[in-house]
């Protein structure tokens, strides 16, 4: 019960509640602010003796800056709640006001030549105060004079002006809604824009120089053509003059002689002809054609499976073919990062783990926080908090890299609120790959914003795997476009296999293709075998010439061409692209796997490289032998950690975001790198393909044509009307050994059980062996 107090009349009174006390305090505060506002209004307007005296008292303290001080106090008295909510507003004002006092006092010191500045200021203020007037300039008053004396002693009067200006600028900055991070981001953005403008200006200058060179070359070609035409006209005119039969006159009579006499005169004249022999210009051109044909024949004899014809000069595609895409700003991400740093540290502290967030790198799709744990903190304690951190950060998923390779820190990758696209054009312009490395391909941007490229010649083969819609096909298109941007048809050749029929068919009829895009899985297995045959032929050629790889062979060809009139053709690189490996493995697993394994083991030195893509990263598609021979891998988003381990031999891909978010594990690194792949649209692909088709026509190589295939060519088939191609071999084997069993045929002819069983049925139908008699072996009815 509340304590009660008895009055003289016997009535009791109660103590006010907290709400009532708070209400009373608010009323007192409001009344006090009202009186202060009235006082400041009188002082500001200098009404009467009271207003003039109040204003001069302010002038005594802050000098001629009294109007600024009164205005600031008036604003604070009215809007105190709003002002206190803005961090840095009050401190910023005091910095600005201090700078103003220093500026006023420095100006006042320059106009006063005496020594005792404070005493002089005090006397002038008292004179105005006693006379109820505002007449003298008082600088910064007593407060300004007290601040000015040490500053002027250290920096002199001129330096004080500079110090005051700095204080005003810093104060205005603190009062503004911007932070130091915002200013740094703005300066970085300005620098990027200036660099972009510089790059654009450099490109324009380069374009103008190239245009001048082109015009100069065209003018030179036109001049040479005109000179050639003039020379040809002069030669024709000379020939015509030599063949004209002029009428002959008799010198004495002036009469024209008849034809017989004219012929006699010509025969009896001893005059050298204008041209000796046959028509010189025509014979010279024919001789050149014959020489060229001989040289071409020699080249065709030396070349191995590649017989390119004479073609016009090939012009590489320009990056201007790709439409520029405006990238979203990540200014909002920077604000979120500053908030997440505090959330991370608080979350770790709540679990008893002391960490410090050293830095944060904002990438296109994720932000990587580099966390340094305290001494004695086990790494797996941090790794086990992935779900708790995702909950605290309200993130879709969190991937923890513990530890970061080469650093004593743990990486925490948190998805951005918005994924920033990485256009292919931007990536290509920033990559600046070497034009001599034809297979050096920009793949994507790392978390720190740097462009990551890889040289397919060093990989030497690449496995790309991920679920549907994760970005595999876009990545493959980006790799193909990168190669087409740098290599001509005589430098790199493609063999493309696309069982889905829709991903790579757009590249049909480009001159870089060895054969049209293969869409039949059975033909694809045969086409891979053709590539294996080409590899073996190349190694035979290398052995004959005493070189170890394609580079050594092409170097010898170049040396030979410089010293000989008979030209040889260098061998191109071959890139085999399989867009859906799982479909091929379902149809002809043994043939496809054997071809891939052989190419993976030996094709690097022969200049043959593979890019295998699949959306079903299971062990029956990506076998252990394939993984062993395709060491470089790219993993896109997958559904489970099992699929991630199948691709990368470790978890991580199940936490990717999709849409080009990938883990890239090259042959020379032990840990995968997270990248955001480049985006290349269908319009961009069609633009570069159309440009290339206009440059040259497709020239397919018939030696790589898989031809027509039948069911009987593969183990999983059921045969056709013409029988199995191995029938004669099986027949010879059975007749020679006088034994007939499916297991023997399977072992001796290296075929599957289904095919061996089918061969046994064909042998029975042909009367070579007898029917099955239970567990007894079949009788061989045919003798040698």
| Mean pLDDT value of segment 266-292 | 36
How high is the pLDDT of residue 84? 74
Phi, then psi, of 349 in degrees rounded to 5: -65, -35
Exposed/middle/buried for residue 508 (C-beta within 10 Å: 0-12, 13-18, 19+): middle
Most confident of 172-181, 525-534, 716-725: 525-534
Q: Inter-axis angle of helices 117-131 and 141-175, to 10 degrees?
A: 100
At 427, list the tokens. 């990536």
Read off the DSSP letter of residue 279. -
Instruction: Reply yes or no on whether the pLDDT at 479 is more than 70.
Output: yes
Report angle CA 222, 228, 231 to the nearest 5 degrees: 145
CA distances from 741 to 363, 590, 723, 764, 770 (A): 64, 22, 19, 11, 11
Q: In what order do the strands lie in the sheet with 492-497?
A: 451-455, 440-446, 673-677, 661-665, 632-635, 462-465, 608-614, 573-578, 492-497
Q: What percent of the chain has pLDDT over 70?
A: 85
| Mean pLDDT value of segment 446-465 | 90
Report angle CA 409, 412, 417 to the nearest 5 degrees: 150
**Least trusted range by pLDDT, from 99-108, 268-277, 489-498:** 268-277
**Least trusted range by pLDDT, from 81-95, 224-238, 386-400, 737-751:** 224-238
Beta partners for residue 399, in sequence order: 413
At 162, list the tokens. 């500079």
Q: Return the exposure string of 167-177: e unless at least 16 CB atoms fall within 10 Å of the residue's CB, then b.
A: bbeebebbbee
CA distances from 142 to 122, 137, 161 (A): 7, 13, 18
Any known ligand binding at 469? yes
DSSP string, 74-134: HHHHHSHHHHHHSTTHHHHHHHHHHHHHHHHHHHHHHH--SS-HHHHHHHHHHHHHHHT--
At 674, list the tokens. 């997270």
Tell me how far apart the alpha carbons of residues 72 and 588 are, in angstroms, rounded to a whole number. 86
Q: What share of the chain is helix, strand, coil (3-state, %, to 5)?
A: 55, 10, 35
Cβ atoms of 757 and 743 within 8 Å: the answer is no
Instruction: Reply yes or no on whether the pLDDT at 310 is more than 70.
Output: no
Please name each of the domains of the chain with its CATH number: 23-177 (no CATH), 331-415 (3.30.980.40), 457-545+573-704 (3.40.50.300), 711-765 (1.10.10.10)
CA 17 to chain centre: 68
Tell me how far apart the alpha carbons of residues 421 and 325 are, in angstroms, rounded to a whole number. 9
How high is the pLDDT of residue 124? 78
How high is the pLDDT of residue 685? 93
Report angle CA 183, 188, 194 to the nearest 5 degrees: 125
Q: Using DSSP bridges, classify how beta strands 632-635 and 462-465 pair: parallel, antiparallel or unpaired.
A: parallel
Cβ count near 725 (within 10 Å): 10
**Least trusted range by pLDDT, from 272-276, 417-421, 706-710:** 272-276
44-88 tens-digit pLDDT: 777 777 888 888 788 888 888 888 888 888 887 777 777 777 777
Any known ligand binding at 467? yes
Tell me how far apart the alpha carbons of residues 476 and 612 are, in angstroms, rounded to a whole number. 9
Q: Which residue bears the tokens 């020699």?
A: 298
- Between the two ends of the chain, the Cα-to-Cα distance in Å is 125
632-670 tens-digit pLDDT: 999 999 988 888 998 998 888 998 988 899 999 998 888
Q: Which residue bears the tokens 């031809």?
A: 707
494, containing H or E segment: strand 492-497
| Mean pLDDT value of segment 766-778 | 84
How high is the pLDDT of residue 265? 38
594, 591, 552: which is closest to 570 by C-alpha?
552
DSSP string, 181-248: HHHHHHHHHHHHHHHHHHHHHHHHHHHHHHHHHHHHHHHHHHHHHHHHHHHHHHHHHHHHHHH--PPP
Report angle CA 489, 503, 478 to the nearest 5 degrees: 60
Any known ligand binding at 473? yes
311-354 tens-digit pLDDT: 557 889 988 888 888 777 777 888 888 889 989 999 999 999 99
How high is the pLDDT of residue 273? 39
Instruction: Reply yes or no on whether the pLDDT at 160 is more than 80.
Output: yes
Cβ atoms of 517 and 508 within 8 Å: the answer is yes
**Least trusted range by pLDDT, from 46-60, 304-318, 437-451, 570-584:** 304-318
At 434, list the tokens. 């070497």
Beta partners for residue 776, in sequence order: 773
Tell me how far apart the alpha carbons of residues 782 and 772 are, in angstroms, rounded to a whole number. 16
How high is the pLDDT of residue 539? 93
Instruction: Reply yes or no on whether the pLDDT at 481 is more than 90.
Output: yes
pTM of the complete model: 0.57
State yes or no: cis peptide before 460, omega within 30 of 0. yes
Average pLDDT, the chain: 80
Q: Inter-axis angle of helices 550-563 and 521-545, to 10 degrees?
A: 60
Any known ligand binding at 466? yes
How high is the pLDDT of residue 115? 65
Tell me how far apart the alpha carbons of residues 12 and 6 are, in angstroms, rounded to a whole number. 5
Residue 746: strand, helix, or coil: helix
Which residue did the predictor score with more confidence, 466 or 180?
466
Residue count of the chain: 784
């Amino acid at each position: 019960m509340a304590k009660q107090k008895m009055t003289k009349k016997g009535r009791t009174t109660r103590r006010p509640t907290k709400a009532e006390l708070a209400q009373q305090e608010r009323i007192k505060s409001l009344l006090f602010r009202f009186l202060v506002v009235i006082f400041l209004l009188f002082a500001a307007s200098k009404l009467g003796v009271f207003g003039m005296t109040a204003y001069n008292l302010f002038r005594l303290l802050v000098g001629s800056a009294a109007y600024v001080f009164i205005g600031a106090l008036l604003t604070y008295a009215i809007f105190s709640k709003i002002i206190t909510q803005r961090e840095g507003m009050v401190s910023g004002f005091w910095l600005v006001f201090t700078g103003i006092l220093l500026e006023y006092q420095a100006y006042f010191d320059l106009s006063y030549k005496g020594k005792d500045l404070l005493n002089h200021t005090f006397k002038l203020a008292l004179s105005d105060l006693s006379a109820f007037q505002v007449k003298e300039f008082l600088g910064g008053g007593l407060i300004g004079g007290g601040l000015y004396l040490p500053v002027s002693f250290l920096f002199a009067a001129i330096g004080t002006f500079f110090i005051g200006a700095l204080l005003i600028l810093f104060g205005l900055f603190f009062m503004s809604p911007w932070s130091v991070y915002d200013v740094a981001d703005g300066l970085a953005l300005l620098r990027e824009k200036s660099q972009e403008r510089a790059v654009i200006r450099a490109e324009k200058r380069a374009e103008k120089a190239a245009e001048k060179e082109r015009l100069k070359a065209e003018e030179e070609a036109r001049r040479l053509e005109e000179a050639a035409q003039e020379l040809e006209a002069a030669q024709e005119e000379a020939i015509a003059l030599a063949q004209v039969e002029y009428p002959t006159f008799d010198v004495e009579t002036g009469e024209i002689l008849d034809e017989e006499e004219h012929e006699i005169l010509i025969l009896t004249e001893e005059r050298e002809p204008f041209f000796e022999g046959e028509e010189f210009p025509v014979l010279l051109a024919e001789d050149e054609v014959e020489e060229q044909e001989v040289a071409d024949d020699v080249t065709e004899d030396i070349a191995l499976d590649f017989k390119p014809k004479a073609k016009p000069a090939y012009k590489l595609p320009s990056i201007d073919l790709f439409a520029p895409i405006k990238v979203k700003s990540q200014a909002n991400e920077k604000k979120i990062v500053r908030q997440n740093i505090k959330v991370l540290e608080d979350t770790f502290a709540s679990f008893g783990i002391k960490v410090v967030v050293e830095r944060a790198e904002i990438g296109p799709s994720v932000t990587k926080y580099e966390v340094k744990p305290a001494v004695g903190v086990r790494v797996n304690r941090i790794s086990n908090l992935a779900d708790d951190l995702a909950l605290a950060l309200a993130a879709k998923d969190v991937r923890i890299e513990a530890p970061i390779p080469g650093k004593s820190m743990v990486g925490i990758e948190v998805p951005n609120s918005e994924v920033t696209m990485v256009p292919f054009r931007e990536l290509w312009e920033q990559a600046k790959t070497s034009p001599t490395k034809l297979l050096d391909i920009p793949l994507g941007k790392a978390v720190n914003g740097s462009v990551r490229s890889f040289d397919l010649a060093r990989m030497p083969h690449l496995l790309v795997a991920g679920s549907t819609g994760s970005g595999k096909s876009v990545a493959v298109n980006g790799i193909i476009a990168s190669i087409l941007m740098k290599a001509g048809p005589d430098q790199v050749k493609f063999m493309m296999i696309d069982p889905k029929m829709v991903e790579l068919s757009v590249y049909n009829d480009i001159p870089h293709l060895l054969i049209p895009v293969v869409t039949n899985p059975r033909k694809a297995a045969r086409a891979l075998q053709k590539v294996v045959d080409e590899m073996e032929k190349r190694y035979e050629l290398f052995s004959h010439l005493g070189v170890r790889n394609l580079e050594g062979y092409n170097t010898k060809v170049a040396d030979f061409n410089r010293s000989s009139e008979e030209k040889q053709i260098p061998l191109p690189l071959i890139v085999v692209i399989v867009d859906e490996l799982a479909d091929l493995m379902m149809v002809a697993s043994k043939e496809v796997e054997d071809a891939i394994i052989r190419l993976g083991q030996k094709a690097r030195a022969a200049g043959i490289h593979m890019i295998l893509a699949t959306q079903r990263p299971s062990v029956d598609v990506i076998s252990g032998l394939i993984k062993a021979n395709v060491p470089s891998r790219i993993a896109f988003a997958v559904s489970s950690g099992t699929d991630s381990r199948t691709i990368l031999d470790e978890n991580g891909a199940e936490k990717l975001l999709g849409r080009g978010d990938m883990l890239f594990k090259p042959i020379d690194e032990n840990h995968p790198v997270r990248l955001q792949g480049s985006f290349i649209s269908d319009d961009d692909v069609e633009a570069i393909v159309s440009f290339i088709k206009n440059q040259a026509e497709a020239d397919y190589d018939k030696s790589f044509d898989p031809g027509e295939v039948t069911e009987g060519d593969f183990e999983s088939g059921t045969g056709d009307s013409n029988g199995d191609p191995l029938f004669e071999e099986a027949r010879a084997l059975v007749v020679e050994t006088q034994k007939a069993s499916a297991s023997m045929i399977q072992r001796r002819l290296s075929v599957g059980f289904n095919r061996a069983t089918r061969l046994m049925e064909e042998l029975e139908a042909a009367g070579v062996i007898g029917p099955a008699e239970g567990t007894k072996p079949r009788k061989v009815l045919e003798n040698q």
